Structure 1
């Protein structure tokens, strides 16, 4: 078992944070009655009252996301991956990328920790981040018609910021963009993403997001895409 964590996201008046592998399991938090919600999606992320850990700021919540496979391969193994070392695990790589983006001041969740359990030639993993207060998925706002034109322009500007930083978000969709209580957009879920030189991947990111908008807001998909691209081009 291997754990990577960010001491700056934890607090403990009596010494170093006592983070443990159990923190990365839903059963642990369920026993503490600390689960306050769950997000849709393959990973079945749960939201945690982090104060139950004794190492979080008051009223802080965390998001715990176990790694799950998608596509045809999930029928062979839902949550196991081939072991090639802790540093090459999806959890550690995503943790480090998220931390790097966060340190650059980009709007991403603050990472708390990542855990990898090795089982022979396979491993399982989970990632913990600080939950963005009051955030809702852009997908939900699109679906119920409450995504304003200005918000879509802000999303375009957001994506341009990440692209300027060299982030290739391989799963850029409306569920991985969150909008907080102040209507500010954030980007989440950097599994398999990477930093790279500028190239055609930027257009592939935008094309993927457009398909997602088409899915959640078919009646106004062209309008939404127009305002998003205007924000992107104006940045």
Structure 2
């Protein structure tokens, strides 16, 4: 994976040159690539995901779809600005940090979406940003599977095993929930949305991750599922 940075006036684009190779015949690496208008004008928006910021699914090439996710604030901070963040340098932006982290995990063979590119638009002391990753074909959120009673014990144990792999790699996923775990058609789980996540040495944060997931699971299932997940965790 070859990461490169492109500067255009007040905009910085960090991208994986390999991911963009097939798409460059149709799409140029430019700030417009990170806007919904660009894809809507070409009729290439094929869906959207729920949640803050409304991620869009894009038909980037005949064989590959992308996910475009604008960065949006939540909680009390959103009352000040929903999409502006304090500028403290390109490498400290949420977009650059998430793309580099995702790329590092992807290179280790961990189940995260392949990162494509991110764009940071500096506006004086603040910035806006958006991220593009490859869409996991045919995947559904674990939350959706739980609601429809489609998550069996074998799948939940595979989720536990996956989380163990990420924890062993040092990933502290600060928003580990049932919507950020996807399951592809083969039954393999994937982890998405690494915004504000980081690599750390082992510690209490690992248990905090799992407790956060437990609270999320209770929103979608009346059963206690963590004991099943723990059976896969570590194996």
Q: TM-score range by the shorter chain?
A: over 0.9
- Using the size of structure 2 for normalisation, the TM-score is 0.92
SS in 1 for 2:233: helix
Flag the 1:12–1:208 CA change in 2: closer, same or farther, 3 A.
closer
Counterpart position of 1:228: 229
SS in 1 for 2:119: strand
Of 71, 74, 81, which residue of structure 2 is paired with 1:77? 81
Counterpart position of 2:53: 43
Q: CA deviation at 1:13?
A: 9.3
**Residues of 1 paired with 2:63 and 2:50: CA distance?**
23
Flag the 1:14–1:128 CA change in 2: closer, same or farther, 3 A.
closer
Pairs within 5 Å for 1:1-235? 1-12=11-22, 18-51=28-61, 58-217=62-221, 219-220=222-223, 222=224, 224-233=225-234, 235=235
RMSD of Structure 2 on Structure 1 (CA): 1.4
1:128-156 Cα shifts (integer Å, max 9, x gaps):
00000000000100111111111000000
Q: How many residues align?
A: 224
**Residues of 2 paired with 1:34 and 1:85: CA distance?**
33
**Residues of 2 paired with 1:12 and 1:131: CA distance?**
15
**Residues of 2 paired with 1:127 and 1:199: CA distance?**
29
SS in 2 for 1:10: helix
Stretches of structure 2 lacking an aligned partner (at least 5 in a row):
1-10
State whether residues 72 and 83 of structure 2, in contact with CA within 8 Å, keep that contact through their aligned partners in structure 1. yes
Counterpart position of 1:54: none
- Using the size of structure 1 for normalisation, the TM-score is 0.92
**Residues of 1 paired with 2:175 and 2:84: CA distance?**
20
Stretches of structure 1 lacking an aligned partner (at least 5 in a row):
52-57
- Relative to its length, the structure with more strand (as a share) is 2
